[in-house]
Homo-oligomer: A and B are copies of this chain.
Amino acid sequence: MIRFECDYSEGAHPKIIRILTETNFKQTAGYGDDEYCEKARSLIKEACGAPQADVHFLVGGTQANRTVISSILRPHQGVLSAFTGHINIHETGAIESSGHKVLTLPCPDGKITAEQVENAYQEHWSDETHEHMVQPGMVYISNPTENGTIYTKSELTSLSEVCKKRGLPLYMDGARLGYGLVADTNDLTLEDIARLCDVFYIGGTKAGALFGEAVVIANPALQKDFRYFIKQNGGMLAKGRMLGLQFLALMEDGLYLDISRHAVGQAMKLKRALSDKGYRFLYESYTNQQFPVMPDAHLDALSQKYAYSFWEKIDDAHSAARFCTSWATREEDVEKLISDISAL
């Protein structure tokens, strides 16, 4: 079985294994208060052109989302999100569990617009009985989205402007951020993101780390007491250095983007092959996730040798599937898959 069903099927990039091994017997303080974390934080702030930012390392994405969102909202506020947002669908209600409603906006492809945010704001505040409703308190976006799509600089700028105007902190879930940054269609840099978002995270789990997400709180007004939130939400790793070490490896010498480029390169090869075969795509993705709509018979045939994610039923004879590549995807496996697809 060759696995394309997600981007976390293997361990970690060898450089990460190496740095963990090399430093294994070094004694350090716990809870992220060590030199490796300190150095990794510096590298990230530098890469983001954000010396004023606070950087915190958390273990996983659901934890990061829950921790960030609960640190920002007051109890009567909710978070605006695409209906398809990870926080709305795939986190077992972690946001609600911390007391907040996810205020969903419809979207065809995982992205929401500045206009939708402005309308939601207007709709709330123009209602006479607004205190009977959850108040929009911040905006959550994912980039790339759960559908593989990405925001343009223009779109993110518009979102950022309406958020600033309406006092709604803008938070970007970057679980797969690297795969977005290297996409052909991308025109955003880490500096742009740090300037346009109040908080975002650079995903490690899905981009070469054993685990770990680097939360960047770019807006100083939102930095206060954040470590309490990490601890309360169960995210304060005793051996916190492991998070620092992994991000040290990822941020040095451009490894994070190299990894992402490899994955997206393989995904684009696959995309062309799927397209050549005549399949359409559910979403226009130029990142490491591809969503072809295929005959069920073809999907069944592939499932003998390949793991992919079933996405949704399209009609009686077709379904959409998700194929993912990652830092660890082997060129030869992609070639095999392409060849088997052509032969269908």
Residues of A within 8 A of B (CB): 1-3, 6, 8-12, 14, 17, 20-21, 23-31, 59-63, 66-67, 70-71, 74-76, 78, 89-94, 96-102, 129, 131-135, 205-206, 210-211, 225, 227-239, 241-242, 307, 328
Nearest-CB distance from A126 to chain B (Å)? 11
How many copies the complex holds: the figure is 4
B91 with A232: CB separation less than 8 A: yes
A26 with B10: CB separation less than 8 A: yes
Nearest-CB distance from A210 to chain B (Å)? 6
B30 with A6: CB separation less than 8 A: yes
Nearest-CB distance from A221 to chain B (Å)? 13
B232 with A76: CB separation less than 8 A: yes
Instruction: Please report whether the interface of chain A is mostly helix, strand, loop or mixed according to DSSP.
Output: loop
Contacts of A62 in B (CB 8 A): 231-232, 234, 236
Q: Check A90/B131 contact, CB under 8 A, given A24-B11, A27-B2, A60-B237.
A: no
Nearest-CB distance from A102 to chain B (Å)? 8
A228 with B76: CB separation less than 8 A: yes
Whole-angstrom CA separation of A238 from B205 in the bound complex: 7
In the complex, besides A17-B21, A91-B232, 10 extra interface pairs with C-beta distance below 8 angstroms are: A6-B238, A10-B26, A14-B24, A17-B20, A25-B328, A31-B129, A59-B234, A62-B231, A93-B99, A93-B100
Pick the contact of A239: B67, B102, B210 (CB < 8 A): B210
> Taking CB as reference atom, which chain B residue is nearest A100?
B96
**Most chain-B Cβ atoms within 10 A of its Cβ — which of A31, A89, A232?**
A232
